[in-house]
Every structure is written in C-alpha cells, then in structure tokens.
Chain A
Amino acid sequence: MIHGCRPHRALASALIALLLLPAWPSSARSAETKEYVLANGLKVLLVESPKAPVVTVQIWYKVGSRNEIMGRAGLSHMLEHMMFKGTPKYGKGLFSKIIRKNGGNDNAFTGQDFTGYFENLAADRTELALELEADRLRGLLLDDKEFQLEREVVKEERRLRTEDDPQSFLAESLFAQAFLMHPYHWPIIGWFPDLNAMTREDLKQHYDTYYVPNNATLVVVGDIKSEVLLPTITRLFEPIPAKPLPAAQIVAEPEQRGERRIVVKRDAQLPTIMAGYRVPNFKDEDAYALTVLESILSHGKSARLYQSLVYEQKKALAVGAEYNLLATDPELFYCFVMVKPGQKVEDVEQALYKEIAKLQAAPPSAKELERAKNQVEAEYIFGQDSNFRQAMLLAQAETVGAGWRQVDQFVERLRRVTAADVQRVAKRYLVQDARTVGILIPTPTPPAAPAPAPTLMSEAR
C-alpha cells in the first residue's frame, strides 16, 4: 500500500530513492571485491555475495552531462534512452523484454559524471545480461525515427521532473548560478532548446566517443563465482576494441568571490530555501570532515537542523544537508529548508545560518561526533544488504576517479576526523562568500482561466 507514507517524506532529500547512494562506507566490507582489467581496458569488479540467489549486473560509462557542451545539454541522457532502441542483433525494445521474461528488472540512469545501466536478476541468468550489455556497447542502431519519438518522451520527462516541480526548478537555477563555467552549470536532462537542437549525428558522435570499453566499469555483485564468471566476461567483452578518448577539455570553475543569490517566483504553495557552498570532493582530505559535518547537521531527528528548525523553532517542514564527495569535480555542499506556513522566509534563512555559525564557533560534542561516525558506519553495513547498492557504490567510486579501493579505506579516514576538523571545515567552506542561495517565492495562483466547459457533459454535481 503506497498510500500511507509518513509526513516526514519530504525529509528524504534529493535523489530518487532508488538511486540514493549510501553515504560513503566505513567498516571493512564483509565481501571482497576482485578487480580485473581486460586487454581492451574494461575494468571489471566482482563481488561474491551468496546470501540470495540473485545478482546485479551494472555497467557504468564515464560520461555524463559533465562531458557535454553548451547548446547540447542533455545529450548523455538522451543517449541513455536510445540505448534501449535496438542493435542489429536485438531490435527495438528487445533488451528489456528479454530481461523481463527472464525474471529480471533493468533500467538506466544518467548523472553529471556517469551513465549507468543495470540488470537485477536471478544468478543463473547473469550471462544473459552480460551478453546484452556487450552487444549494445557496439553497433547501436540510433534510428532517426526512434530518436524523434524518444525526444518527445524526454521532453515529457523534463516537464514531469523539472518544469512542474517547483523545488527541482529552483535547484536547476541554483546550479546554473553556482557554476558559471564548469559543465555542472547545465541540467542533466538539458534545456528544451538543447533537446530541440539535438540531432542523430550528435548522438552517434557521443556514442562512438564515450561508449568504449576503456571508458567503462563493469560490476557484478551477487551469488557468483568470480573464477567461473571472468572467462565469460572476457569472451563477451574482450573482442570489443579499445579506442583513445579525447583529451578532457573541462575547465575548472574559478573561485567564487562573493555570495550569489537567485529568486524563483512561480506558482507554488510554500517557500523553499537552498544554500549551496563550493566544497572539495574526494581528492581532498577535508571531504571526510565534510561528510561528518553533513551527518551532524542532517542525519536523523537528533541532528542539529531538525532539532532546531523543525522541532524547537517550528520554522520548517523539512530540512536537510547534502554532500556527496564522490563527484568527479568539486561540487556543492548544500542545505535546504522547506519553510513552514506562516513563517517569514528571511527569518528561516537566518535560522539556518545560525546553526552553521554555531558549528563554526564551537566544535561538536564528543557524543555528536561519535553518533555521526556510528551512523555512517551502520549505513554502510546496511547498504551491503543490497547487492544493487553495493554495486552502485563501487561503480561510482571507480567512475568518478576515486577508485573502488578507497571504499575500504573510508572507515579509517572517517574515524580520524576530530571535532576540531569539523569546526575547521565549517569555518573554511560554509562561508557567505562561497555561497549561492536560491529562494523559491510562491506567487499567488493566477486567476483561474474561465473553466473550459467540458463539451459533452450531461450534469454536474
């Protein structure tokens, strides 16, 4: 029964829950990851996890909106959709149909730094999923008629997720302000003019450039035996030739010099405040202190933002902080507040900054620090309960350049974070001059257009 969600649902912050990556790990993982690199450069990660007779097969390409150019935003995502439109061997729609009739689920996702494909299915069907993924790594049909239709589907997706969703719309505007030069500037799904301008040739070029084995990571987690599976993987994938990748031409976002503010006014019920701070990614040791800071601010009802803004001051319906250190380039640490009816936006915004200021003025207590570490550690163990999540974590770490091995070192690094570190990174990064603030201001609902009389009605009640 879907009906009965808890009112706190809005606290679940950002991603579609399916793709919520676990906060980065902590304790040594119970199952060992085995790494292989095929002759063509394909990285293969295998994890034997026999607790249920199922597997997840995932292939991640190191291409996302980060690898696009102005005017063609959304190309990676559009290509992801086209990956289901057939090859000479398996025609339109057959990929999913075959997986389904073998009792499996498949889907795909595109982010700023990656495009990933997965199949979850019974362990004895692993080879089938691998064969299908190997097949579409080369020779995608990219039929122009199919592309024209799918473009309309993607435009519907944009309407659904962004145009008609006030918070998403705000987030999109905020990123465009926070990143002026770096490709994190534009939305993953692209803007309408980009979608309209896109051609089959753009897709073909993107596919030929980035869908090569030396730009991919294949992960299989589940009830498998590595020594049995590896020869199969080699047989299926190794014949696909490697190809040199273009030299990266991605500009670094220059230092931010002063707060930026944007306001979005649109039909909405309640104001939302977002504050994004420019922070380093996994390449900097501060990433670990930032991870602990995020937890202290926002993990659970005992965390500071909930306790203060929701519980004590009753100014917010939902609050959160988000930090993902597994980004290819430095991203944002951001906080959001859904303002409670009747509260003044300015007051609520100041209340948020006050909580941050407290962490800059004094270090967190020993108990808070311990709780944050325990939470991250437990979340990691819980994450292992799902093959899918485990594979996501390894693949993401590998794809963004952190390397899956750092997953196993994470606990140790996280455990080294001190209360003083948390205070230091709060002071260094969560500062006004490095902040981009986005405010959603609801506008009064426009006067209802004269109700279009449904033409064929008979009676009203």
Chain B
Amino acid sequence: MIKTQTAEGGTQKAIGLLPTVYCLLLILGGCLALQAGPVQAADINPVRYVAPNGLTVLVLEQHALPIVQVHALVKTGSVQDPPGKAGLANLVANLLDEGTATRSATQLAEQIEFVGGQMAVKSGDDFTTASVKVLKKDQDLGLELLADILLRPSFPEKELRRVRSQILGEMQSEQDDPGTIAAKAFNQLVFDGHPYRWPVNGTEATLATVTRKDVQQFYSHEYLPNQTILAVVGDITADQAKALVAKHFGAWKRGVSPPRVMTPPAPLAKPVVKLIQKELSQATIMLGHLGVSRNNPDYYAITVMNYILGAGGFSSRLMNSIRDNQGLAYGVGSMFDPNLMPGSFMVSLQTRNETANQAIAGVLAELNGIRDAPVTDEELADAKAYLMGSFPLRLDTTGKLAEVLSQVEFYGLGMDYFTSYPSWIETVSKEDVLRVAKQYLNPTNYALVVVANQTKAQVKPTANATVAK
C-alpha cells in the first residue's frame, strides 16, 4: 500500500519546483512503522487512562521545548468504505476541518494559523489521524480546535463539492507520478477482491457517487470517542492534559462500536503481470505479494530478514546488487507494509527502460538467495545492531512520539513495547531468518507491475504468468 517512494525522513515526496537539493539516497522508509530497537524505558512512560466516554488517552510529558503535540487516531479508514463508495472515509477526513457547527473552514484555518500552530488530517486504510501542534501558550486553543473538528464537523454541501473536485483533480495529477500509478495497479493485483485494493482517495467513479448523507452517516457511525486514541505529548503535565481533555472532549458521546469484518486478503495462486504504457525514460517496477499483519508473531524475524534483503539502505543485498554492483538504479528497496490485516510485501525500483528485465532478474535472484541459504553471522549481527540501536532516533521529536504512542496503542502492542523490543529483535536467529524468508517471500507467485515505455522495456514475464489488462 505504497504511494510513492519516500525520502529518508519517511515523508511524502513533494513536487519539485525548486532547484532541488539532491541527496544520495531515497529510501523506502517508515513502513515497518515501529520497527526499531532498545530505548531507555524510563524515558517513555506515558500516563494512560480511559475517559468516561471511552476515549483512550495517553500523555507523555516532554518539557525541553514549549511545544504541545496532540494526535488523535480514529480507528476507521478506507477499509470501511462501503462497496462502490471507495474514497468515502478519506473524503470525511478531509472535510473535518472544512467547517464545524461554530466555525467556517476559513475561520478554522485563521485561528490555528494566527498563533503559528499546525493542524493536519491524514487518512489511511485502517485508521485516520487528526493532529495539532501548538506552542505551550496555545495548548487550550489547540485542543479546542482539534475537538471542534472531531466532535462537530458540519460537512457543508459547498465544501463537500469543492473538496471532492479538489481530490478528483489531484487524482488526475497523480497520473504524472509513475510511482503512484504503479502502486495503485500493484494493490489491485495483490489485494484482488479485498477492500485494501482501493486507493485511500478512491476512484473517479466511486467518488462521484458519494453524497452528503453518506458522509454524515459514515461520520456518525465511525467517529466515536470509544473508537479513538488521543496522544498528548510535550510541555504539559498529565494533570493539565487530563483537565483539558475533559473540558474539550468530555461532551463527545460514546456510541456503539461499529462491527468489523476481518477477512484477510487471499494470496495469489499464480504470477500476475501488469504492463502500463507511458512515455518515460525509466521503467518503474514493483514486484511483490501479500505480506503480514502487524500482529504476526513472526513480525520481528521478518523485520530482521527484510532489513538484510532490502530495507537496510546501503547495507542491503538489493542495494548492493542492483545499485552498487550493477549501476542499474538510484533507489531500490523492499518493504513489508503491516496493517491490521496482512498488507503487502514489495520491492520497488526505477531503472532505464532498456534494463528493466535485468533489474527484475536481479530482484528475483535476491529473493531466491535469501530463501536458499542462511544469512551470514555478520549480516545478522549488523541488522540487529541497527534495529536495536536506531530506536531512539525514531522517538526524538514530539511529533514522532505522539505518532508512535498512538500506534502502539492501536495495534495493542502494550506500553512495555518500549522495553521489550530489544529482546524481541535480539532473539531472532539465523534459522528464524531463513524460515521466514521461505515462508513469507514468494519468488514464484508474485505480482509484477511495470510502468514504462513498453516498446523499449520489452518485459518478459515468466511462462505461467497471467497478464492483467
């Protein structure tokens, strides 16, 4: 479920209108969210409580800077889009800050921006987040505005029409990004028949059918305090946070938690290939299949294995082979995208059209390689050292802390996650790595998407592959 490659910071690639600063490497990053190593347990010790209306609250005091970050995670996303209404959850999320019972879209923007604060909403497959970042002096206002958009969005008809046309326009503009085109096609193949196959923002056809009533219904069924995790991190005491949460979120009425169907996607029975023609100088290649859920007991062994395969930056086998030894690509990496239900495993890269087949062969060789023989002692030790040692870097800003805390709660990892993680990584053995490579990588039944000038690329799928239209 990948949209585009990300820079090392794990953020979205922005459109390039400046004389871009070039960096050595773009990494497929941030996807094994919560991967990482040891941490000083004493440092991450949030206060956790459940408010009377069912809202789960986590407070972590960080007094180094006068900043307060509040992150609300609502347990709903595009996976709850009704049939034929792909994009509804995303539209609802995008309308939260476009008008409430007492504030217009412009008033909301003016109020938060006047104090230099930032408010953002992000929608995903399994969950949606709304967050606010303000200076300490503005913490009351920050929580008030966040509560306002979550508790009292009014979904004005005119804003709905505008935001929808905006999303449709952006959908069109996404067709200029080979990575997005490839990812959308890849998800369709890997999650065939499952809700994960749809883009979060939906499609032109499905979005057109969404009405204001759909939006209001989705909101009233899904946006409930008992379906929400609120992480408060920064220069605020637990008592202050508790009082402010009660003041602003206390009126939110508990509701009946919506039923959840958790049918996992089915694995591919045979290889499937999709070739997409576009006038490009490079072929964008995505190769992979179904992955694992975040709660898979093998998650940590998979993390180590995937680091060695293709998530370890310049230390990874894919990078060594495809970039450093063959000069075929600027960026190449592999990732497991763990969701509530199994997400995807994918390798992605870009190479000039003419070398597409060579690069695909190189990827398959590495998938086979890590399944055929144990990794070396050095590879295992290096991977573990990185995963354990880099953990503090994943928690070194209030924003990262708020996000990780809410996800630890969402996936039910338990707050001892922060102290237990190193031992989970430490115990992974060479045998475990080999076992999970054999079990979770499939160099035979995979989905392959190539967006390229197909005349030049001349991709040769394997003999038994289905070619998807």
Contacts and interface: CB of A to CB of B under 8 A. Distances in A.
Interface of A: 1-7, 9-10, 12-20, 30, 49-54, 77, 80-81, 84, 92-93, 96-97, 100-105, 107-112, 120-122, 125, 148-157, 159-168, 170-172, 175, 184, 187-189, 267-270, 272, 274, 299-303, 307, 310-311, 314, 317-318, 320, 322, 334, 336, 338, 340-341, 367, 370-371, 374-379, 381-382, 384-387, 445-446, 448-452, 454-461
Given A108-B23, A111-B21, A385-B399, A160 B282 contact: yes
B393 to A, nearest CB: 6
Contact of A301 (B113, B133, B162, B331): B113
Contacts of B459: 454
B372 interface: no
Given A2-B1, A54-B393, A317-B169, A166 B176 contact: yes
A13 B463 contact: no
Interface stretch (B214-222, B295-303, B309-317): B309-317
A457 B281 contact: no
Contacts of B106: 301-302, 307, 311
Contacts of A101: 315, 381-382, 385-386, 389
A341 B19 contact: no
B377 interface: no
A2 to B, nearest CB: 5
Interface in B155-180: 162-163, 165-170, 172-173, 175-178
Interface of B: 1-4, 6-26, 30-31, 33, 37, 40, 43, 62, 64-67, 77-78, 90, 93-94, 105-106, 109-110, 113-118, 120-128, 133-135, 162-163, 165-170, 172-173, 175-178, 199-201, 273, 275, 277-282, 312-315, 320, 323-331, 337, 339, 350-352, 381-382, 385-386, 388-393, 395-399, 453-455, 457-469
A449 B11 contact: no
B16 A301 contact: no
A384 B133 CA distance: 14
A384 to B, nearest CB: 6
Given A93-B324, A367-B114, A455-B460, 8 more contacts: A7-B163, A13-B18, A18-B8, A121-B389, A149-B326, A272-B17, A317-B170, A454-B273
Contact of B15 (A10, A110, A452): A10
B172 A456 contact: no
Contact of B176 (A107, A160, A165, A456): A165
A96 B396 contact: no
Nearest to A452: B454
A458 B270 CA distance: 12
A314 B166 CA distance: 8
B16 A156 contact: no
A301 B117 CA distance: 12
A4 B123 contact: yes
A101 B381 CA distance: 8
A341 B116 contact: no
A109 B21 contact: yes
Contact of A104 (B18, B26, B390): B390
B350 A156 contact: yes
A1 B339 contact: yes
Contacts of B18: 13-15, 171, 322
A278 to B, nearest CB: 14
A52 B18 CA distance: 33
Contact of A377 (B12, B116, B382): B116
Among B31, B64, B127, max chain A CB count under 10 A is at B64
B273 A299 contact: no
A460 B23 contact: no
Contacts of B135: 378, 381
26 contacts: A4-B200, A7-B167, A16-B13, A16-B14, A53-B392, A77-B22, A97-B382, A101-B385, A157-B22, A159-B282, A165-B176, A165-B177, A166-B176, A336-B17, A340-B165, A341-B168, A375-B116, A378-B135, A386-B396, A449-B454, A449-B455, A451-B277, A454-B460, A454-B465, A454-B467, A457-B273
A352 to B, nearest CB: 14
A152 B327 contact: yes
Contacts of A374: 114-116
Nearest to A377: B116
Nearest to A167: B15
A440 B200 CA distance: 28
Given A107-B23, A374-B115, A458-B463, A7 B201 contact: yes
A26 to B, nearest CB: 9
Among A3, A151, A161, A269, max chain B CB count under 10 A is at A3
Contacts of B463: 456, 458
A5 B22 contact: no
A149 to B, nearest CB: 4
B300 to A, nearest CB: 16
Contact of A112 (B19, B30, B323): B19
Among B94, B170, B199, max chain A CB count under 10 A is at B170
B22 A13 contact: no
A2 B281 contact: no
The 3 closest A-B pairs by CB, nearest first: A103-B389, A378-B116, A4-B124
Nearest to B343: A1
Contacts of B465: 454, 456-458
A395 to B, nearest CB: 13
B340 to A, nearest CB: 10
B393 A120 contact: yes
Contacts of B282: 156, 159-160, 163-164
B461 A457 contact: yes
B382 A457 contact: no
B113 A371 contact: yes
Contacts of A446: 279
A3 B464 CA distance: 31
Given A307-B106, A385-B67, A457-B467, A93 B314 contact: yes
Contacts of A448: 277
Contact of A7 (B7, B166, B312, B331): B166
Given A17-B12, A460-B469, A6 B24 contact: no
B295 to A, nearest CB: 15
Contacts of A149: 324-327
B23 A16 contact: yes
B380 to A, nearest CB: 11
Contact of B16 (A161, A377, A450): A161
B397 A385 contact: yes
Given A120-B393, A381-B65, A167 B16 contact: yes
Nearest to B168: A341
B15 A13 contact: yes
B238 to A, nearest CB: 18
Nearest to A299: B113
Contact of A160 (B127, B168, B273, B330): B330
A168 B14 contact: no
A150 B323 CA distance: 8
B345 to A, nearest CB: 14
B339 to A, nearest CB: 7
A5 B324 contact: no
A156 B351 contact: yes
Given A299-B113, A314-B162, A452-B454, A164 B280 contact: yes
Contacts of A152: 327-328
A454 B275 contact: yes
A370 to B, nearest CB: 7
Contacts of A13: 14-15, 17-18
Contacts of B4: 2
Contacts of B21: 15-16, 19, 109-111, 188
A171 B17 CA distance: 5
Contact of B22 (A151, A184, A189, A456): A189
A90 B469 CA distance: 50
A52 to B, nearest CB: 4
A100 B121 contact: no
B6 to A, nearest CB: 6
Contact of B19 (A5, A171, A301, A340): A171
